[in-house]
């Protein structure tokens, strides 16, 4: 099996000052291509450490993708590290200088002299095009390993992986077929509760069941070769039955996209009133272009009851001339009230967050999902009130 690894560079990544979204994206992208990443490492902006790591990993990996360190500043050391590992000089590529000059000219700017550094790559390196930025990517062969060097800017990195690196891998290696990965996401279940029902489930050989817990959801994944699809589908049906009404969506689209589909199918608009969630619902639904009629962020002094929140949902629906309205109250002593107004009536519940250690951000995300889940359940023709293992309904209208 092809051994593909990743090397992330930069002090800001190593020290946790930024989240390495490139690594997460690459791992997922490659997995979907049938090339699971075998290892990943991070090295700071130290030339000696970079050279040593390149030399060490080139003895084990077939392919190493290096991310970052191709900028114009003194702490961008990836090209120099590659040249040192190879024992050869850097060579400036005039054609890339011309590309950069044109890039800046199109933006009404003059190229800085420091940008010339981005056109310097090891003498034996193969230039790898970066069609959306100034950093010149390149590839080298060191020991048994093909090493690809990419910029850290996510938009540039992703384009280069998809358009430049993957085609080269397909040319140089025999790659397996992409796996079949069936996914669903649950809300209101616990990982241990699902595992108790599913861990004894017999699986076809070569098929794996995985769990991913990320508050407030649990994702279930059934992964195996595409050739085993006929054997996997009955297992998947059983998994969906276990998830039951707590399955908020299949695939990767997300719950807001599910809500948009419900609204579009019913030709309805939705109005939103948000206190504790502070516009989070509005942002999530606008991101998927859901049909919204109105949105408000009311300021309420004093304690508000569930009846107050339900009345706000009804009033907003009337003023916005919308058939549907969701209202979220304020968090009070770990209790939160949410109301859904529909043509059939108004439904509301007050939930008790029993986990005191959750941050306000997590509680906002949970509340937003609870509100959308009420709407999802209503849209499916079910009771808006779900069964949740870690949320307790104190009052229900």
Q: Give the contacts of 214 (CB within 8 A, at least 6 positions apart).
A: none
Number of residues in the chain: 397
How would you class 274 by CB atoms within 10 Å of its CB: exposed for 0-12, middle for 13-18, buried for 19 or more? Answer: buried
Tell whether the model's pLDDT for residue 340 goes beyond 70: yes
High-pLDDT (> 90) share of the chain, %: 88
What CA–CA distance (Å, rounded) separates 147 from 378? Answer: 53
Please report the pLDDT score of residue 326 as a whole number.
98
**Position 191 confidence tier, pLDDT thresholds 50, 70, 90:** very high
**Position 228 confidence tier, pLDDT thresholds 50, 70, 90:** very high
**Position 397 confidence tier, pLDDT thresholds 50, 70, 90:** confident
Please report the pLDDT score of residue 334 as a whole number.
86
What CA–CA distance (Å, rounded) separates 146 from 48? Answer: 20
**Position 303 confidence tier, pLDDT thresholds 50, 70, 90:** confident
Which range of 38-52, 290-304, 350-364 scores highest in mean pLDDT? It is 38-52
Long-range pairs for 36-40 at CB < 8 Å and ≥24 separation? 36/4, 37/4, 37/5, 37/6, 38/3, 38/4, 38/5, 39/3, 39/5, 39/6, 40/5, 40/6, 40/7, 40/8
Between 341 and 298, whose confidence is greater?
A: 341
**Position 248 confidence tier, pLDDT thresholds 50, 70, 90:** very high
Q: Domains (ranges, CATH) in the chain?
A: 4-172 (3.40.980.10), 180-250 (3.30.70.2860), 255-396 (3.90.950.20)
**Position 301 confidence tier, pLDDT thresholds 50, 70, 90:** low
High-pLDDT (> 70) share of the chain, %: 99
Regarding pTM above 0.75, the answer is yes
Over residues 141-170, mean pLDDT: 97
> What's the chain's average pLDDT?
94
CA-based radius of gyration for the chain: 26
Residue 36 phi/psi, 5-degree rounding, is: -65, 135
What CA–CA distance (Å, rounded) separates 57 from 8? Answer: 13
Tell whether the model's pLDDT for residue 302 goes beyond 80: no
What CA–CA distance (Å, rounded) separates 71 from 50? Answer: 16
Category of 396 on φ-ψ map: left (φ > 0), alpha (ψ -120 to 50) or beta:
beta
What CA–CA distance (Å, rounded) separates 266 from 379? Answer: 9
Please report the pLDDT score of residue 395 as a whole number.
77
Give 378's Cβ-side CA count (13 Å radius).
24
Closest CA to 277 of 365, 173, 372, 388: 365
DSSP secondary structure, 238-279, as one string: HHHHHHGGGEEEETTS-HHHHHHHHHHHHT--EEEEESTTTT
What CA–CA distance (Å, rounded) separates 206 from 211? Answer: 17
Lowest mean pLDDT among 7-11, 75-79, 187-191, 352-356: 352-356
What separation in angstroms does the CA of 280 have from each of 93, 269, 295?
A: 48, 18, 11
Tell whether the model's pLDDT for residue 90 goes beyond 90: yes
Residue 300 phi/psi, 5-degree rounding, is: -120, 125
């Amino acid at each position: 099996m092809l051994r593909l690894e990743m090397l992330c560079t930069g002090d800001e990544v190593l020290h946790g000052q930024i989240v390495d979204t490139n690594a997460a994206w690459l791992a997922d992208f490659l997995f979907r291509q049938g090339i699971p990443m075998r290892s990943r490492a991070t090295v700071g902006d130290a030339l000696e450490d970079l050279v040593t790591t390149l030399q060490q990993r080139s003895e084990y990996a077939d392919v190493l993708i290096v991310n970052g360190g191709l900028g114009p500043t003194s702490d961008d050391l990836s090209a120099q590290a590659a040249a040192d590992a190879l024992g050869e000089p850097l060579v400036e590529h005039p054609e890339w200088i011309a590309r950069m000059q044109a890039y800046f000219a199109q933006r009404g700017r003059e190229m800085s002299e420091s940008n010339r550094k981005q056109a310097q790559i090891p003498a034996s390196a193969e230039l790898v095009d970066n069609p959306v930025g100034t950093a010149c990517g390149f590839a080298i062969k060191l020991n048994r390993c093909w090493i690809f060097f990419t910029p850290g800017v996510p938009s540039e990195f992703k384009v280069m992986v998809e358009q430049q690196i993957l085609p080269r891998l397909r040319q140089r290696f025999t790659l397996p077929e992409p796996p079949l990965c069936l996914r669903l996401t649950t809300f209101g279940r616990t990982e241990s509760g699902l595992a108790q029902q599913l861990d004894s489930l017999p699986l076809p050989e070569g098929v794996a069941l995985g769990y991913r817990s990320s508050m407030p959801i649990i994702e279930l994944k059934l992964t195996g070769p595409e050739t085993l699809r006929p054997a996997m589908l009955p297992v998947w049906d059983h998994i969906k039955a276990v998830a039951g009404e707590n399955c908020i969506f299949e695939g990767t689209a997300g719950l807001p996209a599910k809500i948009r589909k419900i609204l579009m199918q019913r030709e309805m608009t939705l109005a939103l009133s948000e206190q504790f969630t502070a516009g989070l619902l509005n942002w999530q639904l606008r991101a998927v272009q859901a049909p919204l009629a109105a949105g408000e962020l009311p300021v309420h002094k004093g304690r508000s009851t569930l009846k107050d929140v339900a009345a706000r949902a009804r009033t907003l629906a009337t003023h916005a001339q919308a058939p549907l309205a969701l209202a979220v109250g304020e968090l009070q002593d770990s209790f939160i009230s949410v109301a859904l107004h529909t043509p059939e009536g108004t439904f509301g519940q007050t939930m008790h967050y029993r986990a005191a250690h959750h941050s306000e951000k997590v509680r906002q995300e949970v509340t937003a999902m609870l509100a959308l889940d009420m709407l999802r359940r209503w849209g499916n023709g079910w009771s808006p009130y779900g069964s949740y293992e870690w949320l307790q309904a104190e009052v229900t209208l």
